[in-house]
Structure 1
């Protein structure tokens, strides 16, 4: 694999996803051993020609020889395209490039809710993306849609539950956001929307865990005990993840218990 030399990717060290894929570029040989560097470790010289605000939103690729910088999806295309020129050619097509750019922004602006982690507060520079309401609401809508369809399918696998509908599952999924937000009214709008993003990431994670059972059920008849047990295990994992995120966000712990309360109320509503 061809190595792109004299190039350094600035990654967000507080983002596990960013750390994973930039390390992958180095391990695979796409970048040399100095091919990645934490945004927080920028030198004073680099701060003079790197757009710090843009680099926090879009991963920056520094040409250490020419002292020039590429940002966002173009950085990734440059790294991958050097080893796989055909990918660079496809990505250069305007409609394809536009779609890739939008997808990149969708992930980048939501990376702190997709895989949150504790921030190292001692760093002088913090690689925190702007809070973009458009992409945050798009993410919430995306997670809400996936959750609705997966729960619709899974609910119909449980014989003791009344037959489900897309509308019912959509109302229940959206209702959780409204219900939980009632306990955050003393906080500002940004905090509530940020929490809603994390809340729906937990729901999305749960949906992805349930998905294998839905797929497998298309080919074999799965016992009801396994269906119920898998669902119970999924709820436990979701609760643990929600609790972890609440701690990271420094929000009241009672939100995890109101999260459970909503599910109990929703079940009672469905059964009656």
Structure 2
């Protein structure tokens, strides 16, 4: 790889995804050994020319010689393009660049509900993206659609269950949101959408666990008992993940119990 020297990525140290790809740039020699730096370690001189608020939303790449900064997908394209110029040219083609920026924003603005981190007491050093209602609602809708589709395909593996429809699964996925909101309706809009984002991340996580079983079943007709046990194990893992997030976000523990209650109600509805 061709190394981009004297450039430093300012990344969110509490974001596992950010840690992985910035470390990858160092390991593959796309950046030199000083090519990344945690947001919380920005010094006073760097804070004079780095847009702090923007750097929380879009990863910043500092040119240490010229003291200039580029952000988000443009910074990633510059690093990758230094080794693969064709990728940078394609990525900078306007329609593609607009699309990439939308995808980047979708992930970046939702990264704290995709993979939450412990709330820090020092808000100034936190690299938390701005609260963007448009991207949060888009993420929630995407999660409902994805979860509904996977659960519909999974229901086909259990013939004893009443025949399902995609609409039923979508209603059940959306119903979980409405049910949980009933118990946190006194929260602020931001708190509710942050929790719902985490709630749907748990559902996405469960759907991803189910996908391997769907793939295996296309080649091997799995016994129904294996399918049921696999699903039960998935629900237990989801419960633990929901519980973990509740603790990280310092939310009321009763949300874990209402999460279970809704799923029991949903199961009764399906069976009847």
TM bucket normalised to smaller: over 0.9
Q: Does 1:92 align with 2:113?
A: no
- Residue 209 (structure 1) shift: 0.5
Q: Deviations over 1:156-199 (max 9, x none)?
A: 21122101001100000000000011110121111111100000
Q: Which residue of 1 aligns with 2:207?
A: 207
Distance 2:123 2:200 in 1: 30
Instruction: Please show how residues 40-51 of structure 1 align to structure 2 within 5 Å.
Output: 40-51=40-51
Secondary structure of 1:131 counterpart? coil
How do residues 12-31 of structure 1 correspond to structure 2 at under 5 angstroms?
Answer: 12-31=12-31
2:239 pairs with 1:234: no
- 1:98-117 alignment to 2 at 5 Å? 98-117=98-117
1:258 is aligned to 258
Unmatched runs of 5 consecutive residues or more in structure 2: none
Cα 1:179–1:34, aligned 2, differ >3 Å: closer, same or farther?
same
**Alignment of 1:130 onto 2:130:** yes
After superposition, the C-alpha distances for 1:126-171 in whole angstroms (9 at most, x for unaligned) are: 2111100000000001111110000001012112210100110000
Match of 1:35 in 2: 35
Quote the residue 1:66 is aligned against.
Answer: 66
Q: How many residues align?
A: 272
**What secondary structure is seen at the aligned counterpart in 2 of 1:130?**
coil
Provide closer, same or farther for how the CA distance between residues 124 and 139 of structure 1 changes in structure 2, counting only shifts above 3 A.
closer
8 Å Cα contact 1:14/1:120 also seen in 2: no
Per the alignment, residue 196 of structure 1 pairs with 196
Let me know the Cα RMSD of the aligned residues: 1.0
What is the Cα deviation at residue 120 of structure 1?
A: 3.9
**8 Å contact from structure 1 (residues 40, 123) kept in 2:** no
Aligned equivalents of 2:187 and 2:136: distance in 1? 18
Once residues 251 and 223 of structure 1 are traced to their aligned partners in structure 2, the CA distance between those partners, rounded to angstroms, is 39
2:75 is matched with: 75
**2:33 partner SS:** coil
Moved runs in structure 1, 4+ residues, more than 6 A?
A: none
CA distance in 2: counterparts of 1:174 and 1:123, whole angstroms: 33
- Comparing 161-170 with 219-228, which one deviates more in the overlay? 219-228
**Cα shift readout 1:21-69 (whole Å, capped 9, x = no counterpart):** 1111111111111000011111100010001111111000000011000
What secondary structure does 2:37 align onto? Answer: strand
Q: Residue in 2 aligned with 1:167? A: 167
Q: How far did 1:123 drift?
A: 7.0
- Are the structure 2 counterparts of residues 123 and 255 from structure 1 closer, same or farther at C-alpha, using a change threshold of 3 Å? closer
What residue number does 2:8 align with? 8
Shift of 1:205: 0.6
